[in-house]
Amino acid sequence: MNKKISDKVINRLTLYHCILSDFLNDKIEFISSKQIAQLLHIDDSQVRKDINLLNNSGKCRVGYIVKELKISIEKTLGFKKTKKAFIIGSGNLGSAIANYGNFTDYGLNILALFDNDPNKIGKVINRMKIQNVNELESVAKRENVDIAILTVPRQFAQATADFLVKANIKYIWNFTPTVLSVPDDVQVWNENLMGNFLQFTYNI
Amino acid sequence: MNKKISDKVINRLTLYHCILSDFLNDKIEFISSKQIAQLLHIDDSQVRKDINLLNNSGKCRVGYIVKELKISIEKTLGFKKTKKAFIIGSGNLGSAIANYGNFTDYGLNILALFDNDPNKIGKVINRMKIQNVNELESVAKRENVDIAILTVPRQFAQATADFLVKANIKYIWNFTPTVLSVPDDVQVWNENLMGNFLQFTYNI
């Protein structure tokens, strides 16, 4: 699978994957593009087009074999290619992400949370220990981690990003409502909640 | 401003707005498209193209007037058109969103959180009271609220969505990792965190 898959398609495939997981839980063996399309309120030709990008989509006479289509999405999107990450900031948002549940199914392995609050260091959230942020660099090196999930309060976001860059973190998943200044070799994904909200409600 | 603005542009404009807020805080009066572009690691022709969609961009000899460009984005994206919403589920994620800070700047007015846990009902998060979910329908009617931010655990997501639909909620901002089945007249925005993560890390 070497075709470049666009962001929008990746997004939709992940949603199809959610639906397939639910169907599998309910022991339903087959699914049609129309069923997927109806749940997402999109056109079923779009669903078929997306699925056609996959190898071995599990296509059969009555639609797709749920199990096969699910595996195919997992292979295409690299769910088995585990990526290690840290959460920086163990407040509500960091804790929510640590507890989010099925990240590991998608290949995201969160090893630890880091904080600078002595009252939080040492506590455990969802089997992950909150560690002193001073240890981040050495743990990152030892465990070969270059993804950080940034959930600190806004006013500390840039200083923390600077610290992460020094610790050789190359990918920052930014949940803070601020734009970070980082060198060119560091990638930031802005989890731009307000932007999403405005897209959602633009036509209300 | 009647031009339809695409989701991607709305997303970028919100990020420009973050940058402008920071510049304004730092008492910087002017900004160039290049400065914005560098912070976001995108092309500055893209920034200029986006800004050209706005009325009164505050363009001047040295770039843009920070204050004017900021106001122009706010007008275009409807920041002043306040939208009332509820948070359903007062766990870590619901609390994080209640505490997220600057939502009101963007026109999102979260009136209350709702939960069914007697230990949580009555508590206050960021000046918002956690109310009994049984009261949601009447409060929604009284306060004219049709947006719900859904942050309950995955296994309760669909049942809660059914409940919201009955309570006449028309927009569900879905933070649960599941695809909700709702009638055609209800819109769902899936805050598809795993999809975003996979887009971010697809090329790692």
Residue of A nearest to B99 (CA): A92
pLDDT at position A2 over 70: no
pLDDT one-digit tens code per residue, B129-142: 999 999 999 999 99
Which range is least confidently modeled, A12-16, A98-102, B25-29?
A98-102
Which of B170, B123, B125 is closest to B144 using CA atoms? B170
Pick the range with the lowest mean pLDDT from A165-174, B73-82, B118-127.
B73-82
Contacts of B53 in chain A (CB under 8 A): none
CA distance A64 to chain B (A): 18
Q: How confident is the model at residue A1 (pLDDT cuts 50, 70, 90)?
A: very low
Chain B residues whose CB is inside 8 A of the A82 CB are none
Cα gap B68→B86, rounded to integer Å: 32
CB-CB neighbors (< 8 A) of B108 in chain A: 194, 197
pLDDT in tens, A104-119: 888 899 999 999 999 9
| Mean pLDDT score, B92-117 | 91
- ipTM of this predicted structure: 0.89
Phi and psi, residue A63, nearest 5°: 135, -120
Contact yes or no for B14 and A204 at CB 8 A? no
Give the model confidence (pLDDT) of B157-181 as tens digits: 999 999 999 999 999 999 999 999 9
In this structure, the strands spanning A59-60 and A63-65 are antiparallel
- pLDDT top residue among B80 and B94: B94
Checking if the pLDDT of B87 tops 50, the result is yes
What does the pLDDT read at residue B103?
A: 85
Mean pLDDT of the residues in chain B: 93
Q: Is the predicted pLDDT of residue B2 greater than 70, yes or no?
A: no
What is the band of B1 on the pLDDT scale with cuts at 50, 70, 90? very low
Task: Tell me how far apart the alpha carbons of residues B89 and B99 are, in angstroms, rounded to a whole number.
Answer: 14
pLDDT of B93 reads 93
pLDDT at residue A4 tops 80? no
Band (A3; pLDDT cuts 50, 70, 90): low
- Chain A residues touching residue B202 (CB < 8 angstroms): 5, 10, 77-78
**pTM, whole model, 2 decimals?**
0.91
Q: What is the pLDDT of residue B81?
A: 87
When mean pLDDT is compared across A1-10, A145-154, B183-192, the lowest value belongs to: A1-10
pLDDT in tens, A60-114: 888 999 999 999 999 999 888 899 999 999 999 999 999 887 788 888 999 999 9
The alpha carbon of residue A62 is apart from the nearest alpha carbon of chain B, in Å, by 22
